[in-house]
Structure 1
Amino acid sequence: MLKKLRQKTSVLAIGSGTALIALVGLVGFSPKILEKIETWQQKTEIALQEDDNSPSVVLKLANASAQDRLEQLKTIALSEKPSLERSRARYILATELIKKYEGGPALRFLEGLEQEYPTLAPWILLKQGRGYELSNENDLAQETWKKLIQTYPSDPVVAEALYYLGKYDPKYWDQAISQFPNHPRTWEIINKRLKDNPKQPKLMLLLVKYNAFDPSMNAVRDRLVKDYAPELTPQDWEVIGNGYWEFGDYRKATQAYYKASRTPVNLYRYARGLHLSGQKAQAKQAYQQLVRSFPDAPETGEALMRLVGLSGSSEALGYLDYAINKFPLQAPDALLKRAELLDLLNSKQAASKARQQLLVQYPNSEAAAGYRWKIAKSYADKGDLVKAWEWAQPITINAPDTTVAAKAGFWVGKWAQKLNRPQDAKDAFLHTLARYPQSYYAWRSAVQLGWKVGDFEDVRYYAPTVVFPETRPVLPSGSQAFKELYRLGLDDEAWTLFQAEVPNPWQLTVDEQFALGIFKQKQQQFLEGINLVWDLRNRDSAAEQAQWQVLRNKPEYWQALFPFPYYDLIEGWSQQRSLNPLLVTSLIRQESRFEKEILSPVGAVGLMQVMPSTGRWIADKANITKYSLKNPDDNIKMGTWYLDYTHKEYGNNSMLAVASYNAGPGNVNQWQKKFGLSDPDVFVEKIPFKETRGYVESVFGNYWNYLRIYNAEVAQMMSNLPQQ
């Protein structure tokens, strides 16, 4: 064996020092030689440190295809001077060679690399073993994998070594199942064993417990429920219920939670599942059981609010009082609902008292802010702008984190303009921009302040410069190996390691959920990926909210919410149609979340949600003879043609064009006649279709976010704003 190792080493350029290091531990060296080796290693470690002032070329190539980056990586990998760049390039090239079953060439890049590149040392040993195996040196392969297991016994990559060793001795597969049940390689082992012998419920339970992100696991859950129900424990039923719940199969989840351990979460989900399934009477009983069994649990507060909707007025008032007195999180909504019910019962004085209690005790709540805005808007509609101002301004002071705060801040500025108070208007717009930079109203404020960011009348022709990040970000969760693999663009390996490192896939941390959202986008599942990142704002605990606040101050958070898939296609067709590519991207994000084959309930297809009938009409008008609405290029070609058409119909007013894209030209024509266009912001507020009003705000809110994130000039102006 020693002879073989020496032969392998000799093929490398000795000048790099790699061969020398590779032999340490295999043969004896004198103390002087060992001292020289240690000195060389120290110099190498210094050389391998990342230089922030010299951005990595290898990391810049992370999103390029294997073929496109091949030559640059080869040049770096074959340099004689040890460096982190060289190590990264060698690892990537070896990985690609192993994918092509070229073990010998891969080994030449991997030899001794574990000493130069400690971050990925276990992975390098794994690949060395695979390289030997592909070279038909099975003894060396097994020895290398055993060395990996011995050297890094608890590292998740050991599961990979156990998988390969198990092909020679099945005991290693038993070890993988016992030691690494949450590793994707172990799931592969389990699936192989289930294929040979399907009647193994313990293995099936391991799959549904740990393989949380795979929708195909519902079929395994179905088999467990159908064939092994008498053998399942309450804990097993909870695991099964969690899986069904996460993938939206609420009927089956309800049946599982009925047999699960009686916890507040399980009882609430059981009741909610009945509720969602239309079994209102049974749901009401289940909510009531939760209230009786766990009167202080957070889920009970939610159950009380559900019971309100399932009960008559007098009974509902009792549940509301219970929530108001015992559950501060639900109390604001309960007070507002109580006032509404009392109004219906003609108890005006009691209703007014409930609203006053809401404003006094919970001024920073969503419910209080919503009520304030409702009153402010009613005064504005009557022309009493002073009263409107008085009701709206406290929202930005007392409830700055509510969903209506940005709107209130902007309209305080608009009303100040009409009241001839220009400084107050400017202050309000600056506040909205600085405090709510991600909002649609930040864009409207920027327009009012005279920023060159495109307005409704000219945004289609605005051509902002877009600058993409040069390298991938360092993700906030996971090991250094995971973060490195992701930054190198080795997504399959990073995804495997991510799954293996998550201790509880059913209770992801804020950072883990963010990383999962990133990976879903890398897997072309943009809808789920964006939603995972967006839903972080709904975390309940104060600690989780603090983690989310830290995360949302990083550029990668916003880049994940506003990604740029298909940008080359979008840019190409936008140029042909004289459309702002950021506007097109923003409309696509709103229409489909970049899901290329998505179908709407009414039959709209693809990225720009083109109806088949509209597609045929466009094809006839544009002389398009062959197309598929599920093909991104065809869909964008036809969607931009139609968006150009709607612009031309409305004098290139993008607000009307976008509204027409959603609601149709007939409705927009009626609204234009009814409301006029003297103030486009007022027009948007008066759009009678809630969906279309929200659509317009969302599309242009998207546009503003793409602009502020990826355009250097706007980003600089935003950074110069005073801190709020």
Structure 2
Amino acid sequence: MKKSKKLILPISTILLFIVGIIGATILTPQLGNLWDNVIAPRLEERPEYRLDAPSEVLKLADVSFEERKAPLEEIANGSDATLDRARARYLLANDLIREEFDGGQAWNYLQNLERQYPTLAPYIVLRQGRALELTNDNLGAKQRWESLINDYPQSPVIVEAYYLLGQEEPDYWQRAIAQFPQHPRTKDIIYELLAQNPNQKELLLTISEYDLTPRSDSFRDKLITDYQEELEPAQWQIIADSYWARGQFRKSADAYIKAPSTPENLYRIARGYQVGDEQTLAIEAYQKLIQEYPNESQTGLGLRRLASLVSGDEAMEYLDRVVENFPNDAPQALNQKFGLLSSENRSDEASVVRNQIISRYPQSDEAADFRWQIAQDFAQNNDLVSAWQWAQEIGINNPEASITPRASFWVGKWAQRLGQTEEAQEAFEFVLENHPHSYYAWRSAYNLGRGVGDFTDVRDLTFEVQTPAMRPIPPGGSTMFKELYLLGEDQDAIALFEAELSNPDNVSVTEQFTQGLLKQLDGQYLQSISLIWSLSTRENPDDLRQWRILRRSPEYWYALFPMPYQDLIVKWSSQRNLNPFLVTALMRQESRFQPLIQSPVGATGLMQVMPETGEWIAPQIELEEYSLTDPDDNINLGTWYLDYTHRNYDNNSLLAIASYNAGPSNVDSWIERFDLSDFDQFVEDIPFPETKGYVETVFGNYWNYVNLYQPDGETSGFINFGS
């Protein structure tokens, strides 16, 4: 401990010594080694150098160059050698290079910065070269890039130097391909080389393996067309895996046939044919899998897939083999068998299978679904005691099943109707504690008397949107990547993260979540939300444990419920007297914030406005020229229509949101048919599954947006991120 304390003071002393004797000159190799091996590592251990330390610079990550220039200059020109000062200098230099092509001023900020800011040292040297290039010092620029390669030989950042130097010396490009084939800049190099000569098999294989974007499809096809006689099984594996990753399953099946024979490859051959509507070939392939690998995990799934392609006793036989030999797949197989028996009107046998699932596999999702069906049947016959008992078992045996928040909420509702106040409260508290982000958490909070609003007053609740001051620290990637991301250096961050992925086809939970974060930088919210949500569907137990840890953090939920177009949402919500979080919740469900998205029936843009609806609204708001794909126009029209649906139903947001999805005529008929005195029961009674799910999802979104972006409001604060 004494030695550790003594090391802190000499750092400041050495810093002052170096600054005093060197000034603006380049550090000598001896001092450079001293910095790299002793000083820099100790600097990064200091509290103010931690990524999560308070920072004025990181608050400017998403601010424009013009707005942040002055505050960055003030920090950059300060006298203290702090991390924020180094960050400010780096950002200013990058801004000057990108926005003003001012290499001289950028050099002033970058000179010797790699020693003060070791986290981004390779990027600083790279930018030094660019700054010198802008001052027409091409020799100096080349020397900096060569220095980058020599001093940081293991860093993916050197690929950028390889690319620049390789424009005159082609050997550098070959070094990039050999050393970092997964780097985005390396892919650019390969595409440039293929444009010059497309008949290069090794480059075609490399791009097939490492580029899983549509850009690579034609080159992958060219391999099959021009080189199939020369390809070895391992190379066919690369091609097949890339087709599979691209979702081109039929093509992957043909490629896997020529790859090494493995259980996974045989399964993918069969599944590829099945998806490609080659049913006979699929059946033959599944049977080959079962014959050659009778005990592998892929075979259990293969048997279930095969059962879906045949009928009658043959299908039952395959499913029975799953139950007998693959216990992890047994509940799904029995559920599939239940469906077959029910479709053949063999109800007695189906009931036996259902009871078998509940008794033998009580903790399975299939058992939870059957318990809920039984509970609903009792409730419809007004036997609330039995309904309550059956639904209560779901929370006990299946606490994490998708049906559990709904079932547990109705345990509380039925207990209320039976006059069991204490039991009702326990059920609602269970939902809030164990499923705090669900629609039913909001309904539970309301039924507990919390001030969270109801369908009748959601519209009138007003909020000031509060967004986090800084970006979250991504859980995946290197420290250098995380620093780039926090600074808002998005292009470099994305490229570095992609270059660091050792196995893009098998990413970890934290890597996939980080991929989702990066998708949002490009406005790809649909893909981002899908990537993050799909973490919950992983089958590996270790992956699921990591996911459960990750979802305890607010950052996970901010990523699942982003709020792009915030200024436009607040602007038009305010003008229409609408709750901005309700508008955002609806927008997330309608489009996942994709401004160009269009439904099969023509609904367009962020709020999925139909063209004829836009034509009807536009004259009423004096909007002469508009585009449904323009965010401002779309939110203008969409919020007007949402206001219109609210006015139609006396500001009842339940009916307004249902009408937005199903249309007013359907909602009017439901009001006539069903009792509106209990809103929760009315939602259950909605006969359109799509609309029922839509209402629950929109208000579940709303609940999350309130808790995330209005954490100090009186209607929020009930989400426990530790759950």
3-state SS of 1:330 partner: helix
Does the aligned pair in 2 maintain the 1:592–1:609 contact within 8 Å?
yes
Question: Which shows bigger deviation, 258-267 or 449-458?
Answer: 258-267
Matches within 5 A, 1:150-161: 150-161=150-161
After superposition, the Cα gap between the structure-2 partners of 1:547 and 1:448, relative to the gap in structure 1 and judged at 3 Å, is same
**Aligned AA (1:197):** N
Separation (CA, whole Å) in 1 of partners of 2:199 and 2:38: 58
Q: Which residue of 2 aligns with 1:105?
A: 105
Equivalent position amino acid for 2:534 in 1: D
Q: Does 1:24 align with 2:27?
A: yes
Partner of 2:567: 568
Distance 2:325 2:123 in 1: 53
Change (3 A) 1:355 1:195: same
Corresponding residue number in structure 1 for 2:493: 494
What does 1:116-155 align with in structure 2 at a 5 Å threshold?
Answer: 116-155=116-155
Contact in 2 for aligned 1:16/1:81 (Cα 8 Å): no
Deviation at 1:680, TM superposition (A): 1.1
Residue 347 of structure 1 deviates from its aligned partner by 5.3
Question: Is the aligned partner of 1:195 residue 2:184?
Answer: no
Residues 18 and 113, structure 1, Cα contact 8 Å, conserved in 2: no
Going from structure 1 to structure 2, the CA distance change for 1:83 and 1:258 (only over 3 Å counts) comes to same
Q: Indicate whether 1:420 and 2:419 are aligned.
A: yes
Post-superposition offset of 1:648: 1.0
| Shift, 1:28, TM fit | 9.5
**Number of residue pairs matched by the alignment:** 707
Tell me the distance in 1 between the aligned counterparts of 2:236 and 2:245.
Answer: 14
Equivalents in 2 of 1:380, 1:143: separation in Å? 79
CA distance in structure 1 between the aligned counterparts of 2:48 and 2:721, rounded to whole angstroms: 37
Q: Distance in 1 between matches of 2:418 and 2:299?
A: 48
Secondary structure of 2:581's aligned partner: helix
Distance 1:554 1:715, change over 3 A: farther
C-alpha spacing 1:52/1:518, structure 2 compared with 1 (3 Å):
closer
1:506–1:344 CA distance, 2 compared to 1 (3 A):
closer
Q: Which letter does structure 2 place at the counterpart of 1:134? A: L
RMSD: 2.7
Distance change >3 Å, CA 342–CA 41, structure 1 → 2 = closer
Q: Determine if contact 2:554/2:721 at 8 Å carries over to the other structure.
A: no
Contact 1:595 1:606 in 2 (8 A): yes
Measured at CA, do residues 22 and 47 of structure 1 come closer, stay the same or move farther in structure 2, by a change above 3 Å? farther
CA contact (8 A) 1:708 1:715 kept: no
Equivalent positions of 1:273-288 (< 5 A) are: 273-288=272-287
- Structure 1 residue 428: Cα displacement: 0.6
Structure 1 residue 542 corresponds to structure 2 residue 564: no
Give the structure 2 partner of residue 650 of structure 1. 649
Aligned 8 A contact 1:103 1:134 in 2: yes
Q: Using a 3 Å threshold, how does the CA distance of structure 1 residues 723 and 587 change in structure 2: closer, same or farther?
A: closer
Partners in 1 of 2:124 and 2:486 — Cα distance? 17
Distance across 2 between alignment mates of 1:285 and 1:348: 32
1:211 maps onto 2:225 in alignment: no
TM-score, normalised by the number of residues in structure 2: 0.93
Change (3 A) 1:198 1:338: closer
Q: Which residue does the alignment assign to 1:82?
A: 81
Corresponding residue SS for 1:652: coil
Q: Tell which deviates more after alignment, 386-395 or 217-226.
A: 217-226
Q: Which secondary structure state, in structure 2, belongs to the residue aligned with residue 172 of structure 1?
A: helix
Per the alignment, residue 8 of structure 1 pairs with none
Q: Shift of residue 270 of structure 1?
A: 2.5
1:481 aligns with 2:484: no
Q: Deviations over 1:494-540 (max 9, x none)?
A: 00101100001111111111111111111011100110000011111
**2:175 is the counterpart of 1:171:** no
CA distance in 1, matches of 2:237, 2:351: 45
Shift of 1:465: 3.6
1:205 and 1:38 map into 2 onto residues whose CA distance is 40
Q: Is the CA contact (8 Å cut-off) linking 2:706 and 2:716 kept in structure 1?
A: no
* 2:466 paired residue number: 467
Q: More deviation in 216-225 or 574-583? A: 216-225
Q: Which amino acid aligns with 2:357?
A: L
Structure 1: unaligned runs, 5 residues or longer: 1-12
The answer to whether the 8 Å contact 1:48/1:82 transfers is no
1:184 paired residue number = 184
User: Which residue does 2:10 correspond to in 1?
Assistant: none
1:556 and 1:286 map into 2 onto residues whose CA distance is 44
Amino acid at match of 2:499: A
Residue 75 and residue 363 in structure 1: after superposition, are their counterparts in 2 closer, same or farther (change >3 A)? same
- TM-superposed CA distance for 1:452, in Å, is 1.9
CA 1:234/1:472 → structure 2, altered by over 3 Å: closer, same or farther? same
Q: How far apart, CA to CA, are the structure 2 residues paired with 1:604 and 1:272?
A: 33
SS in 1 for 2:506: coil
Other-structure match for 2:582: 583
2:530 equivalent in structure 1: 531
For 2:409, the equivalent position in structure 1 comes to 410
Structure 2 unmatched ranges of 5 or more: 1-15
Residue 389 of structure 1 aligns to which amino acid in structure 2? W
With over 3 angstroms needed to count, the CA separation of the structure-2 counterparts of 1:722 and 1:646, relative to structure 1, is: closer
Q: Aligned partner of 2:157: which letter?
A: V
Partner of 2:249: 250
Counterparts in 2 of 1:48 and 1:399: CA distance versus 1, 3 Å:
closer
Q: Which residue of 2 aligns with 1:445?
A: 444
CA distance in 1, matches of 2:259, 2:604: 40
Alpha-carbon deviation of 1:611? Answer: 1.0
1:393-446: per-residue Cα shift (whole Å, max 9, x none)?
010010011000000110000001000111111111111011001111001101
2: CA distance, partners of 1:143 / 1:561: 45
Counterpart residue type for residue 204 of structure 2: M
- 2:352 equivalent in structure 1: 353
**Offset from partner CA, 1:301-338 (integer Å, 9 cap, x none):** 22222222211121111111111122223211222232
Matches within 5 A, 1:608-647: 608-647=607-646
- Alignment correspondent of 2:371: 372
Q: Could you tell me how far apart the structure 1 residues matched to 2:189 and 2:36 are? A: 42
1:723: how far off?
8.5
CA distance in 2: counterparts of 1:241 and 1:51, whole angstroms: 43
Corresponding residue for residue 11 of structure 2: none
For residues 715 and 206 of structure 1, the distance between their equivalents in structure 2, rounded to whole angstroms, comes to: 56
Partner residue in 2 for 1:399: 398
Counterpart Cα distance in 2 of 1:536 and 1:722: 17
Equivalent pair of 1:265/1:299 in contact (CA under 8 Å): yes
The 8 Å contact of residues 364 and 398 in structure 1, kept in 2 or not, is answered as yes
Query: Structure 2 counterpart of 1:421, which letter?
Result: Q
Query: Per the alignment, do residues 254 and 449 of structure 1 end up closer, same or farther by CA in structure 2, a change over 3 Å counting?
Result: same
Q: Distance in 2 between matches of 1:28 and 1:373?
A: 71
1:21·1:115 contact (CA, 8 Å) conserved in 2?
no
Partner of 2:338: 339
How far does residue 297 in structure 1 lie from its aligned partner after superposition?
2.4
Does the Cα contact within 8 Å between 1:14 and 1:20 map onto a contact in 2?
A: no
Secondary structure of the structure 1 residue equivalent to 2:214:
coil
Indicate the percent of aligned positions where both proteins have the same amino acid. Answer: 48
The separation in 2 between residues aligned to 1:722 and 1:488, in whole angstroms, is 26
Give the 3 Å change call, closer, same or farther, for CA 319–40 of structure 1 in structure 2: closer
For 2:682 and 2:270, the matched residues in 1 are separated by 43
Shift of 1:17: 4.9
Range that drifts further, 451-460 or 391-400? 451-460
Deviates more, 1:88-97 or 1:130-139: 130-139
Secondary structure of the equivalent of 1:712? coil
Q: Distance in 1 between matches of 2:44 and 2:316?
A: 69
CA distance in 1, matches of 2:483, 2:721: 36
Deviation at 1:619, TM superposition (A): 1.6
CA contact (8 A) 2:451 2:714 kept: no
What is the deviation of 1:239?
2.6
CA deviation after TM superposition for structure 1 residue 163, in Å = 1.6
The one-letter amino acid of 1:455's match is D
The answer for the alignment partner of 1:5 in structure 2 is none
Offset of residue 649 of structure 1:
1.0
